[in-house]
Amino acid sequence: MEPMRDDVSDHPAMSGGPYVPPPLPCNGASGSFPPVPTRSVLHVARRPARHDEAAAVLGLEPSVIAEARAEAARNGTDLAAELVAAGHCDAETLAARMATRLALPVEAIAAGDRIIGFAANDRTALPRLVKTCDARLDTKLFLLPRPDGLARLRAFLAARPDFARRARVTTDGDVKRALAQQSERQRLHAATESLAATHPRQSARNVLEPAQAMVLTLLACGLLAAVAHVPSSTLFFLHLIVGTLFAAALCLRLAAVLGRVQVTPQLTEPDEPKPLYSVLVALHRERGVADRLIDALSRLDWPVSRLEIKIVCEADDPDTISVVEQAIDRRPQFEIVKVPASEPRTKPKALNFALPLTAGEFLVLYDAEDVPHPGQLREAYARFRSGPGELACLQAPLVVGNGGNNWLAGVFALEYAALFRRLLPWLGRHGLPMPLGGTSNHFVRARLLDVGGWDSHNVTEDADLGMRLCRKGYRIETIGLPTLEHAPEKLDIWFRQRTRWMKGWMQTYLVHMRQPVLLLRELGARRFLTFQLLFIGMLASSVAHPLFLAVAGAGLVRAVAQGTDSVSFGALLALDLFNAVGGYALFVALSKQALDKEEGKLVRYFPLVPIYWVMIAAATVRALAQLFTAPHRWEKTPHDMASRAIPHDARYRLDPRVDA
């Protein structure tokens, strides 16, 4: 973009008289904006004070203008932003009223025109300018005036009739739309390639690098040869290695169990204007949940003028788009971002497409079925301001709201309680690598951009992103205010979701182990070891736990009936028993520590955990097969809202607890 110059070429003024605006919307009118606190200041002024030009131009009482100015001072915004945010007028009506005062036409930037320059002249109090160029190379000038600067702008236009003839008025939203349209092709290419173009060795587009394929092939051949020649010894040592890895992974959970639990201290927000906060939500075939999602996001406790919520939809999903358009009507903080149909059809690609359109200092990611606690943004903001300088991301706890509906959702709820309210807080507290959950991640946006955003080819982009943040030296921690989630209640849905998760963990491990020496150097020994225990422990235990149960059971029967005929057999049996019993015991301990008193009924599902883990083993085997046959297939999780938890659920007010 070139800077704007005063010597731009002439462009004839639009023919016809100035645009006549429609009546200004106000509270109580049909189709009015959502109610705001005080009705007495909302009605249209019949005799605005002469000394307040903004009140006169906009047709609002001076008290309304004064309140909006006070909000602008508190939030670091301007009068126009606060009037729109409070629902006193929409941006189009505001622009039309100001254009009438300036005797200028109102015009939207044409679809084929390109923005080629911006300017803001503080010396003359000239508002923001946008210069465009069409296919014939004709240029236009667009003003984005502010209500409080109209008198000075009128004087400027009167002194510069040549400029006035070329000027027209538009809105911030129209400029954003034009910029988004202009950058669409570039953003789509960047989102499709993502890390594969900028950091190919950190991308999961290729499952294996040649060196990895060679090493794995040699290991497989060596293992087969060993099994063929010395089967007993080979299986014994293989059993011992897997069992030891499993036991080491349990040590992380044991440390989390032994960590003390405390109530999160109340954080004081900085005495400063609120920064802009961006919210991203990717939707695909979610018409059944879109309206409730919009309602939940509308309850976020953050100044509307400092909030931008972008609902990212696939362009060829008209049903979802239609529902979202209706739901966000007259909610100025919302915007739809339409992703052109292209492969890969993954959530991270959609997020990468929308990311360049965000402008917030902080950014949070939510899912379609989420109901975030209204105070979550404020807690995250206070933590970012008071936390360590390298803090880049905060993970909010995910609480399953439908855990009492059936056993599958119930065990899922126990699993989430142990993970998000015990294990992850412990990891964050000690500065260890943390695999993020796929939602309710609060980022310092600049640091998210610094690591390249999401990997569009990784089907668990959250776990991968957490590792890349750690490798850059950034820190991930947790907050206490939760987000309500909806767990799958049908086995086929759960199975596809878990397959995708396990496949993504495999992708993430293979990607980050492409350069193990570099990984060790970037993470340090302690965090490198934690990474190995988290990922190998998760993947190996997913397959091995049912085997440990079977082998330990058979070995125990044999030991009772015949006794142990060797020290090695006894040691291996003890290891298997420790893994089988210890894994279950630590799961129970972590879950019980994390459960809120309202969730106490979930303990009845503990006896079903071994069955649940057998199902995870089956999903892991399927994930391994897909890793080589369909590595980037995104098996979407449909969201049935019939049993979804609602915001007045007691768990929505979960007492925030973290591990210290």
**Residue 465: which of 188, 202, 187 has the closest Cα?**
202
pLDDT higher than threshold 70 for residue 116: yes
Q: H or E element: which one contains 395? A: strand 391-395
- % of the chain exceeding 70 in pLDDT: 83
Q: Please give the backbone phi and psi of residue 88, each rounded to the nearest 5 degrees, phi first.
A: -75, -25
**Which amino acid, 368?**
A
Using an 8 Å Cβ cutoff, are 68 and 83 in contact? yes
The CA distance from 437 to 501, in Å, is 11
Interval 242-271: pLDDT, tens: 888 888 888 899 999 998 765 566 777 777
The confidence score (pLDDT) of residue 248 equals 86
The confidence score (pLDDT) of residue 566 equals 60
Chain centroid, CA 104 distance in Å = 41
* C-alpha triplet 622, 624, 625: angle, nearest 5°: 65
Using an 8 Å Cβ cutoff, are 44 and 130 in contact? no
- Locate the domains of the chain by residue range: 2-17+102-182, 207-660
**Average pLDDT taken over every residue of the chain:** 84
The CA distance from 157 to 159, in Å, is 5
The confidence score (pLDDT) of residue 269 equals 77
Interval 63-81: pLDDT, tens: 888 999 999 999 988 898 9
Using an 8 Å Cβ cutoff, are 366 and 334 in contact? no
In three-state secondary structure terms, 272 is coil
Q: Please name the fold of domain 207-660.
A: Spore Coat Polysaccharide Biosynthesis Protein SpsA; Chain A (3.90.550)
pLDDT higher than threshold 60 for residue 334: yes
The confidence score (pLDDT) of residue 306 equals 96
Interval 7-47: pLDDT, tens: 333 322 222 233 233 333 333 333 322 333 333 333 333 33
**Which amino acid, 306?**
R
521-to-256, 477, 517, 525, 556 alpha-carbon distances in Å: 26, 22, 6, 8, 44
**Which amino acid, 3?**
P
Q: What is this structure's pTM? A: 0.85
**Residue 114: which of 11, 167, 183, 191 has the closest Cα?**
183
The confidence score (pLDDT) of residue 657 equals 38
Residue 186 burial (10 A CB sphere; 0-12, 13-18, 19+)? exposed
**Which amino acid, 528?**
F
Q: How is residue 476 written in tokens?
A: 């991930």
The confidence score (pLDDT) of residue 118 equals 77
pLDDT higher than threshold 60 for residue 651: no
Q: 169: which strand partners?
A: 106, 143
Kindly report which listed range (8-12, 169-173, 321-325) carries the lowest average pLDDT score: 8-12
Q: Average pLDDT for residues 472-498, to the nearest whole number? A: 95
Interval 556-590: pLDDT, tens: 666 666 655 565 667 777 787 788 888 889 999 99
Contacts of 315 (CB under 8 A, 6+ apart): 321, 338, 339, 340, 341
Chain centroid, CA 324 distance in Å = 18
**Residue 371: which of 408, 398, 395 has the closest Cα?**
398
pLDDT higher than threshold 80 for residue 241: yes
The CA distance from 458 to 467, in Å, is 13
| 187 band by pLDDT with thresholds 50, 70 and 90 | very high
pLDDT higher than threshold 70 for residue 127: no
Interval 452-482: pLDDT, tens: 999 999 999 999 999 999 999 999 999 999 9
The confidence score (pLDDT) of residue 459 equals 93
Tell me the CA end-to-end span of the chain in Å, nearest whole number.
49
H helices of 387-440, in order, are 407-418, 424-429
The confidence score (pLDDT) of residue 278 equals 98
pLDDT higher than threshold 70 for residue 146: yes
